[in-house]
Amino acid sequence: MKKMGIVLCLGTLSIIVLPGCTFQLRPADLALQHQRYKILATYEGIAGVYGQGMSGMGTMQSMPGMHGRRNSLGELWDPKRLTVGHRSWPIGSIVRVTNLDNGRSAVARVTDRIEINGKSRLCDISPGLSTALDVGILGRARVRVEFLEPLGEKNSGLTFMPARTRSIQKGKYRLACGKAMTEPNAMALKKEIIKLTGTAWIEKKGNMFQVYAIASDEKEKVLKIKAQLDSQGYESRIVNAENLNGD
């Protein structure tokens, strides 16, 4: 039977009720949930949980070294905050993270610069966000991450990914998969690439859409992913991120 969760809004409090646990949002995180946003970019991949572990009963457990630590925004670490960590995403960006396994979603902030070993994960999420998304005791989930811009709020102090950024995935070399195509075909190809590499994204080019698998300043790293895709019969090519118009 599929797990169900509900959100109760009581004045300034929001309580997420999940099977086996009750989770109360911090006021700052609650404020993010009630705003309207414009979607700037969308990515899909695997998310892990960082900072703390989850017990078999779905409760948070302390991990050594996290207590009293400050994140990349200078804030004290709070495992119940809805936050995201990544190796290069702009700190302070606002994102909506959706658990693709159950449809649950929540708006969070990118607050931590972390190293992700290997290529199997798109990003890591906090224990609080993991609970809100009902990730479960395995600590991994397929997620969609949407970078957001608040609507109708000038000089709000909230930071976000600029709409005209070349790519959230920074790096001199990028691996383009196939040629620019229609959106349905690009979405289908992106899902296939994610299964092989753990991450992929789509960028619009005029009326067409281009799928990318990786961006890096290390050409050898991009070549390794290209060889992996080539061996599976996927057409790919390396492009220079500094000259995207020539892609």
| pLDDT for residue 240 | 85
Q: In whole angstroms, what is the distance from residue 54 CA to residue 57 CA?
A: 8
C-alpha span between 118 and 169 (Å, rounded): 15
| Residues facing 86 on adjacent strands | 113
Rounded to the nearest integer, the mean pLDDT of the chain is: 75
Q: Which residue ranges form the domains of the chain, and what is each CATH number?
A: 25-150 (2.40.40.10), 173-246 (3.30.70.1070)
Parallel/antiparallel/unpaired status of strands 123-125 and 37-49: parallel
Q: Is the pLDDT of residue 219 over 70?
A: yes
The CA distance from 171 to 216, in Å, is: 4
Summarize the confidence of residues 78-83 as an average pLDDT.
Answer: 89
pLDDT of residue 6: 37
35 pLDDT above the threshold of 50: yes
What per-residue confidence (pLDDT) applies to 243? 58
- pLDDT score of 237: 92
Q: What is the pLDDT of residue 67?
A: 60
Is the pLDDT confidence value at 12 over 70? Answer: no
- When pLDDT is cut at 50, 70 and 90, the band that residue 214 belongs to is confident
The rounded distance, in Å, linking the Cα atoms of 168 and 160 is 11
pLDDT tens sequence across 120-168 = 789 999 989 999 999 987 788 999 999 988 886 543 444 444 333 344 4
